[in-house]
Amino acid sequence: MKLLSVVLFFGLMASFLSSCASSNKTTANPPKTAAATQVSLPGTEWMLTDLAGTPALPGGKATLAFPEAGRVAGNGSCNRFTGSVVISGDTLKMGPLASTRMACVDNDVSKQEDAYFKALNAATRYAYQDPYLLIYAEGFDKPLRFTRAASSHP
Protein backbone atom coordinates (compact mmCIF):
# COMPACT_ATOMS: atom_id res chain seq x y z
CA MET A 1 0.00 0.00 0.00
CA LYS A 2 2.85 2.38 0.82
CA LEU A 3 4.45 1.62 -2.56
CA LEU A 4 1.17 2.37 -4.35
CA SER A 5 0.92 5.74 -2.53
CA VAL A 6 4.47 6.66 -3.55
CA VAL A 7 3.82 5.67 -7.19
CA LEU A 8 0.57 7.71 -7.25
CA PHE A 9 2.32 10.69 -5.65
CA PHE A 10 5.09 10.73 -8.26
CA GLY A 11 2.56 10.17 -11.06
CA LEU A 12 0.54 13.19 -9.90
CA MET A 13 3.71 15.30 -9.59
CA ALA A 14 4.84 14.35 -13.11
CA SER A 15 1.39 15.21 -14.46
CA PHE A 16 1.40 18.55 -12.63
CA LEU A 17 4.88 19.47 -13.86
CA SER A 18 4.11 18.59 -17.47
CA SER A 19 0.94 20.71 -17.42
CA CYS A 20 2.97 23.66 -16.08
CA ALA A 21 5.60 23.21 -18.78
CA SER A 22 3.01 23.05 -21.57
CA SER A 23 1.47 26.36 -20.49
CA ASN A 24 4.76 28.18 -21.25
CA LYS A 25 4.57 27.90 -25.04
CA THR A 26 6.56 30.37 -27.08
CA THR A 27 4.73 32.97 -29.12
CA ALA A 28 5.24 34.05 -32.70
CA ASN A 29 6.60 37.37 -31.42
CA PRO A 30 9.64 36.60 -29.29
CA PRO A 31 9.82 38.51 -26.01
CA LYS A 32 12.00 41.56 -25.81
CA THR A 33 15.40 40.72 -24.44
CA ALA A 34 16.45 42.02 -21.06
CA ALA A 35 19.59 43.51 -22.63
CA ALA A 36 17.54 45.96 -24.71
CA THR A 37 17.29 49.46 -23.29
CA GLN A 38 15.37 52.51 -24.40
CA VAL A 39 17.21 55.30 -26.15
CA SER A 40 15.80 58.67 -27.14
CA LEU A 41 16.03 58.84 -30.94
CA PRO A 42 15.50 62.57 -31.70
CA GLY A 43 18.88 64.21 -32.26
CA THR A 44 20.70 60.97 -33.12
CA GLU A 45 22.39 59.75 -36.31
CA TRP A 46 23.19 56.15 -37.25
CA MET A 47 25.17 54.16 -39.84
CA LEU A 48 23.71 50.93 -41.26
CA THR A 49 25.96 47.94 -40.49
CA ASP A 50 23.57 45.08 -41.23
CA LEU A 51 20.46 44.95 -43.42
CA ALA A 52 18.25 42.25 -41.89
CA GLY A 53 21.03 39.66 -41.70
CA THR A 54 23.13 40.87 -44.64
CA PRO A 55 26.21 43.00 -43.86
CA ALA A 56 26.02 46.47 -45.36
CA LEU A 57 28.17 46.90 -48.45
CA PRO A 58 31.42 48.78 -47.86
CA GLY A 59 30.74 51.03 -50.89
CA GLY A 60 27.37 52.08 -49.51
CA LYS A 61 26.95 54.77 -46.92
CA ALA A 62 23.42 54.11 -45.69
CA THR A 63 22.51 56.36 -42.78
CA LEU A 64 19.51 57.08 -40.60
CA ALA A 65 18.98 60.30 -38.65
CA PHE A 66 16.27 61.58 -36.35
CA PRO A 67 16.94 65.34 -36.67
CA GLU A 68 13.96 66.31 -34.50
CA ALA A 69 10.84 64.76 -33.01
CA GLY A 70 8.57 63.43 -35.75
CA ARG A 71 11.19 63.60 -38.54
CA VAL A 72 13.53 61.04 -40.07
CA ALA A 73 16.18 61.57 -42.76
CA GLY A 74 19.26 59.92 -44.13
CA ASN A 75 21.10 58.50 -47.07
CA GLY A 76 20.25 55.22 -48.80
CA SER A 77 23.77 55.18 -50.30
CA CYS A 78 22.96 56.86 -53.62
CA ASN A 79 19.91 58.90 -52.63
CA ARG A 80 18.94 61.09 -49.70
CA PHE A 81 15.58 60.59 -48.03
CA THR A 82 13.32 62.35 -45.56
CA GLY A 83 9.96 61.71 -44.00
CA SER A 84 7.89 61.52 -40.89
CA VAL A 85 8.26 59.11 -37.98
CA VAL A 86 5.88 58.35 -35.13
CA ILE A 87 7.54 56.88 -32.05
CA SER A 88 5.58 55.57 -29.08
CA GLY A 89 7.44 53.51 -26.51
CA ASP A 90 9.42 51.00 -28.57
CA THR A 91 7.14 51.15 -31.60
CA LEU A 92 7.84 53.33 -34.59
CA LYS A 93 6.28 53.95 -37.97
CA MET A 94 8.17 55.74 -40.72
CA GLY A 95 6.73 57.30 -43.79
CA PRO A 96 5.82 58.19 -46.19
CA LEU A 97 9.48 58.60 -47.14
CA ALA A 98 10.51 60.85 -50.02
CA SER A 99 13.87 60.42 -51.73
CA THR A 100 15.93 61.83 -54.54
CA ARG A 101 16.04 59.72 -57.71
CA MET A 102 19.71 59.58 -58.64
CA ALA A 103 20.95 56.40 -60.31
CA CYS A 104 23.44 54.24 -58.43
CA VAL A 105 26.57 53.44 -60.41
CA ASP A 106 26.99 50.11 -58.59
CA ASN A 107 24.12 47.64 -59.14
CA ASP A 108 24.70 45.89 -55.76
CA VAL A 109 24.53 49.21 -53.92
CA SER A 110 21.32 50.01 -55.82
CA LYS A 111 19.77 46.70 -54.72
CA GLN A 112 20.84 47.34 -51.12
CA GLU A 113 19.32 50.83 -51.22
CA ASP A 114 16.01 49.45 -52.54
CA ALA A 115 15.89 46.85 -49.73
CA TYR A 116 16.86 49.51 -47.19
CA PHE A 117 14.04 51.86 -48.21
CA LYS A 118 11.58 48.96 -48.25
CA ALA A 119 12.60 47.94 -44.71
CA LEU A 120 12.37 51.50 -43.36
CA ASN A 121 8.87 51.86 -44.79
CA ALA A 122 7.91 48.57 -43.06
CA ALA A 123 9.48 49.44 -39.67
CA THR A 124 7.36 48.47 -36.66
CA ARG A 125 9.58 48.77 -33.57
CA TYR A 126 13.09 49.45 -32.35
CA ALA A 127 15.44 48.42 -29.56
CA TYR A 128 18.85 49.57 -28.40
CA GLN A 129 21.37 46.88 -27.50
CA ASP A 130 24.61 48.75 -26.85
CA PRO A 131 26.18 49.69 -29.23
CA TYR A 132 23.47 48.82 -31.79
CA LEU A 133 20.16 50.39 -32.73
CA LEU A 134 17.92 47.60 -34.02
CA ILE A 135 14.96 48.39 -36.28
CA TYR A 136 12.46 45.57 -36.77
CA ALA A 137 10.45 45.61 -40.00
CA GLU A 138 7.42 43.64 -41.10
CA GLY A 139 8.39 41.06 -43.72
CA PHE A 140 12.02 40.86 -42.57
CA ASP A 141 13.21 37.96 -40.39
CA LYS A 142 16.03 39.92 -38.75
CA PRO A 143 16.33 43.55 -37.71
CA LEU A 144 18.32 46.29 -39.40
CA ARG A 145 21.37 47.01 -37.27
CA PHE A 146 22.97 50.44 -36.92
CA THR A 147 25.89 51.94 -35.02
CA ARG A 148 25.97 55.52 -33.84
CA ALA A 149 27.44 57.94 -36.40
CA ALA A 150 30.54 59.80 -35.28
CA SER A 151 28.67 63.13 -35.41
CA SER A 152 25.83 61.87 -33.19
CA HIS A 153 25.76 62.71 -29.51
CA PRO A 154 24.64 60.10 -26.90
Q: Is 76 part of a structural domain of the chain?
A: yes
Q: Is 6 part of a structural domain of the chain?
A: no
Domain of 71, in residue numbers: 44-148
Q: Is 1 part of a structural domain of the chain?
A: no
pLDDT of residue 150: 81
What is the amino acid identity at position 87? Answer: I
Q: Is 16 part of a structural domain of the chain?
A: no
Check pLDDT > 70 for residue 29. Answer: no
Using the CB atoms, write b or e for 31-47: b if 16+ within 10 Å: eeeeeeeeeebeebbbb
Check pLDDT > 60 for residue 20. Answer: no
Q: Is 30 part of a structural domain of the chain?
A: no
Q: Is 14 part of a structural domain of the chain?
A: no
pLDDT of residue 37: 67
pLDDT of residue 145: 98
pLDDT digits (tens, 9 = 90+) for 51-69: 999 999 986 799 999 999 9
pLDDT of residue 74: 98
Q: Is 135 part of a structural domain of the chain?
A: yes
Count how many domains the chain has.
1
pLDDT digits (tens, 9 = 90+) for 86-134: 999 999 999 999 999 999 999 999 999 999 999 999 999 999 999 999 9
| Range 9-26 average pLDDT | 37
- CB of 78 within 8 A of CB of 64? no
Q: Is 83 part of a structural domain of the chain?
A: yes
CATH of the domain at 79: 2.40.128.270
